[in-house]
Amino acid sequence: MRTVLITGATRGIGREVARQLADEWHVIVGGTSQEGVDGVVAELPDASAFVADLSDEEATARAVAGIDRLDAIVHSAGVVAHGTSDTHTREQWRRMMEVNVIAPSHLTALLLPKLREAEGHVVVINSKGGFTAGPGGGMYAASKHALRAWADVLRQEERGRVRLTSIHPGRTDTDMQREQQAAEGRGGYDPEKVLAVGSVAKAVVFALNSTPDASIETLTIYPAKW
């Protein structure tokens, strides 16, 4: 049975990815809360816990030390913020880049030896914001552009050893999306104009189940009615 680590697996897209992979993979459930992680582990047939604040370098290294083998990692953890460019503080910028860019880069670097051994797969759940940016979303989009650049470089560096897929969903029906739309002043949240988390998770499963001769490099998935 293959083993996958999913960050941000206690909610939203990450949790649904864990659910969809659970029948065929050993799922390492990543999250910052022991209680939250244990709750998801208990729901899955073959799972274990990975509890760490990924912005904490030492905590991440300790958690990684408990992983014996790894076939894939799915980077789903992330943060979002809204506000015009004149309102962002340095601390907000640091937090955004730390969680959305530095943490996945550092975690992947720590796990690359095991991924190389398995001829494994890195899946980065990015965003439409990795390609475009609009008013009020500059800080978030900047982090997602940086994440895409890092993923593009890693793909080239590891070609032939580790595959890398970047997945760019549009607005998705998560708690984070509801908070984001509230911050933007959007009234009347319409779930028909956002993606279901299951649709994004299916894209992740599709990438991970690709045949060894194929490298699915970039997938975009947007709401049909947006």
pLDDT digits (tens, 9 = 90+) for 123-134: 999 999 989 888
Instruction: Say what percent of the chain tops pLDDT 70.
Output: 92
Give the pLDDT mean for 17-45.
97
Domain housing 50: 2-221
Residue 43 has pLDDT above 90, yes or no: yes
Q: How many domains does the chain have?
A: 1
In a domain, 176, yes or no: yes
Write the burial class of residue 19 (CB in 10 Å: 0-12 exposed, 13-18 middle, 19+ buried): middle
Written as six digits, the tokens of 31 are: 């999250």
Ranking 14-18, 25-29, 169-173 by mean pLDDT, the lowest is 169-173
Residue 10 has pLDDT above 80, yes or no: yes
In a domain, 108, yes or no: yes
In a domain, 15, yes or no: yes
Give the SS3 label for residue 212.
coil
In a domain, 226, yes or no: no
In a domain, 167, yes or no: yes
In a domain, 71, yes or no: yes
Residue 181 has pLDDT above 60, yes or no: no
pLDDT, position 188: 60
Give the pLDDT mean for 58-75.
96
Full-model pTM: 0.92
Written as six digits, the tokens of 219 are: 């997938």
Chain mean position to CA 56: 17
pLDDT band at 137, cuts 50/70/90?
confident
In a domain, 145, yes or no: yes
pLDDT, position 109: 98
pLDDT, position 183: 56
Written as six digits, the tokens of 172 are: 């998705």
Give the pLDDT mean for 14-42.
97
Q: What is the mean pLDDT of the chain?
A: 92
Residue 56 · residue 101 · CB < 8 Å: no
Ranking 23-37, 82-96, 98-112, 184-198 by mean pLDDT, the lowest is 184-198
CATH of the domain at 101: 3.40.50.720
Angle between helices 103-117 and 57-64 (to 10 degrees): 20
Residue 192 has pLDDT above 80, yes or no: no
In a domain, 98, yes or no: yes
pLDDT, position 54: 96
